[in-house]
Amino acid sequence: MNRHILQSGFRKIYPLYFGIVLATIALILIGICGKAGAAMLPPSGAGSDWFIDMNRFALSAHAALKCDDCHGSMIVNGLQHSDEKRPDFLRQSATRTYDYARCRRCHELSFKRYLEGGHAKALREEKDPSKEKKQVTGGKIMAPTCGECHASHYERSGLSRVAVGQRMLGACASCHPANAASYRNNIHGRVGIDLGNPKAAFCTDCHGAHTVDSLKKPQTALLACKRCHPKAETEFTGIVIHASLESVSAADAPKRAEVLWIHRIRWFALAVLALSLAFFVAHSFLWLLREIHEKLRKH
């Protein structure tokens, strides 16, 4: 190999080579930015439920139903709808005045599974004034009925696994924001929500649809993990999915300790990164300045 050519030839084509590399990177970035579709989460619930958008309703899963199929005659116990004399007039959420038992007519199985789960238990506790309320979400949020998670008038059917998963995250995040955020940082959230891969696990894949299992016990968690990781064993469930302090309950001391360790290692890694970069950048910058100065003086 004639090394001479390598040396002098390289110098000649260097501007061209550099230009080509830059142009390629630029084109890739432009093309990629153009094509990439953002992981769309549905817009939040802000909007009116007094006005029904009939175009969206016509596309929904309930489009074939008429108003009174679900809402009945709107006269209950002699009181007519929009009665100003009701004590809770304009103050109650629509999801509390509607009787969701009516959904059983078509959704019997889901309703029964919901009754077995934690959300129904929370609803019973909310309605029972004597019971002490267990704070799962750490806020003043109401326990969910069907209407809190499913948009009764606009929910579409036949969506892909990824689309359902992405919408599901939006619904769960409205009461469990810390878990949603930590899930999005975890590999399952990244692959499922950001990158739209159907192989990832979404909320109900582990926590059960309507039964909302808590997965605190390793045996329950292992059953959930084994669905995609058949070779997993008990300690595998020790991997923390919701790795933030807000996601772990105050009572679970060992898990909190683990999450704290994760944060400490994170800060350590960040510090090493910052210090190393500070040294390398400063060193290189000073070196460059001095070399350019010396080179200028030689001419």
User: Minimum distance from CB of 100 to other proteins (Å)?
Assistant: 15
Q: Is 154 in the site for other proteins (CB under 8 A)?
A: no
Residue listed under structure tokens 């704290």: 260
Phi (first) and psi of residue 297, to 5 degrees: -70, -25
The rounded distance, in Å, linking the Cα atoms of 245 and 283 is: 38
Selected range binding other proteins among 13-21, 122-130, 157-165, 209-217, rule: CB under 8 A: 13-21
In 3-state terms, what secondary structure has residue 82? coil
User: Minimum distance from CB of 265 to other proteins (Å)?
Assistant: 5
Q: Is 107 in the site for other proteins (CB under 8 A)?
A: no
Phi (first) and psi of residue 160, to 5 degrees: -75, 165
Residues 6+ apart with CB under 8 A from 172: 149, 179, 180, 203
Q: Which long-range contacts (CB under 8 A, 24 or more apart) does 211-218 make?
A: 211/113, 211/114, 211/116, 211/117, 212/117, 212/118, 212/119, 213/117, 213/118, 214/118, 216/252
User: Minimum distance from CB of 18 to other proteins (Å)?
Assistant: 8
Binding residue (CB under 8 A) for other proteins from 59, 74, 76, 79: 74
In 3-state terms, what secondary structure has residue 130? coil
**Closer of 209 and 228 to other proteins (Cβ):** 228
Binding residue (CB under 8 A) for other proteins from 43, 132, 250, 293: 293
The rounded distance, in Å, linking the Cα atoms of 169 and 171 is: 5
Residues 6+ apart with CB under 8 A from 255: 240, 248
Q: Is 91 in the site for other proteins (CB under 8 A)?
A: yes
Residues touching other proteins, count (CB under 8 A): 85
**Closer of 11 and 140 to other proteins (Cβ):** 11
Selected range binding other proteins among 41-49, 104-112, 117-125, 173-181, rule: CB under 8 A: 41-49
Q: Is 71 in the site for other proteins (CB under 8 A)?
A: yes
Q: Contacts with other proteins in 158-177 (CB under 8 A)?
A: none
**Closer of 240 and 245 to other proteins (Cβ):** 240
In 3-state terms, what secondary structure has residue 242? coil
Q: Contacts with other proteins in 196-235 (CB under 8 A)?
A: 197, 199, 229, 231-233, 235
User: Minimum distance from CB of 215 to other proteins (Å)?
Assistant: 13
Q: Contacts with other proteins in 108-147 (CB under 8 A)?
A: none
Q: Take residue 250 and report the two structure tokens written for it.
A: 């105050």
Q: Which amino acid appears at position 25 of this protein?
A: I
Residue 123 CB coordination number (10 Å)? 18
Q: Is 288 in the site for other proteins (CB under 8 A)?
A: yes
The rounded distance, in Å, linking the Cα atoms of 227 and 91 is: 44
Binding residue (CB under 8 A) for other proteins from 108, 155, 252, 291: 291
Q: Is 24 in the site for other proteins (CB under 8 A)?
A: no
Q: Contacts with other proteins in 224-283 (CB under 8 A)?
A: 229, 231-233, 235-240, 243, 258-259, 261-262, 265-266, 269-270, 272-273, 276-277, 280-281, 283
